[in-house]
Structure 1
């Protein structure tokens, strides 16, 4: 995370100067040059948690409506869009700079199926077949719970979500909490573990 002192990547309008830099990243086998900046999550590299998620999440369906919660500069959106070019991929973030970077990076990568919007601008009627996310754990437990419950119940029947959470930041306790909060239509379990992270699977019954 590259921010000015006291600035958080989940600020709506970062106060740091928007100085863009180019990174070369590999997302599920796809090599890309992307732009990042100050004031966004993991602005200097591909975050380790995101890397773990992209390494372990199963191949998404060829089409459908996909969502990345907390898109940052767009690595998860780009990975989903490249894996499933017929899908409609949405990326949401409270950070206006992150939304702009995701949109610009998608255009640069030729991913016309990516739509990056602020969290408040996402159509409340949209439902999702796939959700992938490295959620912003550091916003605090109450805010995180509210964020997850804003989106996970919007999975379509048969839909699936994969979330990556650092083990020492509460991944194991989050699993039973989500199972209880989501109710009987959902199955929540640890899907994979790597480098101190858990990948959590959330499935909605058909």
Structure 2
């Protein structure tokens, strides 16, 4: 990996303010049968395409409710948020990231694609009272196991009763062990299972029992 690519890889996960040059690129893509035009840039996750894991999640996750409160955890430039907002235009979609450039791109992409129901920001900008009917996430596995566990245990308990989180995780990066860990640590009020498998990825379903 080149020094520039390594810097971008680190920034997409850890940096609130990427130091790489903000070079915008326009993509025309389709998200769950919805054609969209988006901008991406350096220093954000999967800047040149829809990441394979995200594609697997979007292909296999079930249709979300028509309305409710949704969360895209680790939104990057907004692919998952846009898919949720276009599938359920009457829902409220929170798009969360630590990366300010990612948040700015998600806000821009929401605006140009007519998704006024997307609210992009940092974790601190999500109301503490918010409970989520749906969480979709391609979580940042490479932040390390401890940090990942802390992140998931911060947000998954905020599922509403009978809510579902769908997480896409690469099989060789520990998806099966994560299923076991989540089941043990979330406890009896949750059902954690493998929902789908494709292209070396698992889609994990975390269901908060009613």
TM-score (normalised: structure 1): 0.97
Q: CA RMSD in A?
A: 1.4
Q: Does 1:202 align with 2:202?
A: no
Alignment partner of 1:115: what SS? Answer: strand
CA contact (8 A) 1:24 1:32 kept: yes
Residues of 1 paired with 2:66 and 2:125: CA distance?
26
Alignment partner of 1:6: what SS? Answer: helix
- Gap regions ≥5 residues in structure 2: none
Q: Does 1:78 align with 2:82?
A: yes
Query: How many residues were matched structurally?
Result: 206
Residues of 2 paired with 1:4 and 1:12: CA distance?
17
- Gap regions ≥5 residues in structure 1: none
Q: Does 1:125 align with 2:129?
A: yes
Which shows bigger deviation, 115-124 or 97-106? 115-124
TM-score (normalised: structure 2): 0.95
Deviation at 1:121, TM superposition (A): 2.4
Residues of 2 paired with 1:124 and 1:147: CA distance?
15
Deviation at 1:25, TM superposition (A): 1.1
Q: Does 1:184 align with 2:188?
A: yes
Give the number of the structure whose residues are more often helix, by fraction. Answer: 2
CA contact (8 A) 1:4 1:16 kept: no
Deviation at 1:5, TM superposition (A): 3.9
Residues of 2 paired with 1:25 and 1:61: CA distance?
23
Deviation at 1:85, TM superposition (A): 0.3
Partner of 1:6: 7
Residues of 2 paired with 1:108 and 1:179: CA distance?
39
